[in-house]
Chain A
Amino acid sequence: QLQLQESGSGLVKPSQTLSLTCAVSGGSISSGGYSWNWIRQSPGKGLEWIGYIYHSGSSYYNPSLKSRVTISVDRSKNHFSLKLTSVAAADTAVYYCARGVEYYQALDVWGQGTTVTVSS
């Protein structure tokens, strides 16, 4: 059974870079037919898709965040990562990683989420 687990810095200073990793267990990130996604949820708000990457390394980002986001994949470690630069208070959120199924383009397995606070 596939499981995802987010990890990374829970507190980031304004203007710095947020870095998170999503460890994939119970399956291979190199399996075809899936995308590896990041989604966030600001306190009391809805879901905001950040971007995804395929095991090949091709990536797609939310246009509203594209200039600040990089998603990368490490097949040897079976994990993928998120970097968000120049963070501000508005980037405070719970960050989720999730697997996307290409066939029907929905997110079928989610991590539990990790809270990131941007504050000096």
Chain B
Amino acid sequence: EIVLTQSPGTLSLSPGERATLSCRASQSVSSNYLAWYQQKPGQAPRLLIYGASSRATGIPDRFSGSGSGTDFTLTISRLEPEDFAVYYCQHYGTSSLFTFGPGTKVDIK
């Protein structure tokens, strides 16, 4: 069973700064099936990135994803006020199962 670890747990930044979020898998995974979501308080998660680096429909280009193997990164190039939220990575793997990471909270410094 693959375990996803996200770091840091909390990232405190100011608007306009760059955010770099990490997702690490316990073993090598297919980047085709690595996704990122954003969740704001009281809302359902929203798909940001799929296939490790493809932006979902309507997602601004300040969001980008990269990585392969066991290490994946979500980068927000310049934080906007609406970007302060919790971010989850997710993988689909062996035995046809979905797995989520524990999340990284991006809050205002």
Contacts and interface: CB of A to CB of B under 8 A. Distances in A.
A60 B96 contact: yes
Contacts of B50: 101, 104, 106, 108
A96 B54 contact: no
Given A60-B96, A113-B44, A106 B90 contact: yes
B62 interface: no
Interface residues of A, number: 22
Interface core residue of A63, A100, A108 (most chain B CB under 10 Å): A108
B40 interface: no
Interface of A (DSSP majority class): strand
Given A104-B35, A108-B56, A49 B47 contact: no
Contact of A106 (B35, B39, B95): B35
Contacts, number: 67
B98 A37 contact: yes
A104 B48 CA distance: 13
B97 A46 contact: no
B98 A108 contact: no
A56 interface: no
Given A106-B90, A107-B37, 12 more contacts: A63-B97, A96-B44, A101-B50, A104-B33, A104-B51, A105-B33, A106-B33, A106-B51, A107-B45, A108-B50, A108-B56, A112-B43
17 contacts: A46-B88, A46-B100, A47-B90, A49-B100, A60-B96, A96-B44, A96-B45, A100-B98, A104-B32, A104-B33, A105-B32, A105-B33, A106-B92, A107-B35, A108-B47, A108-B50, A110-B46
Interface of B: 1, 32-33, 35, 37, 39, 43-47, 50-51, 54, 56-57, 88, 90, 92, 95-103
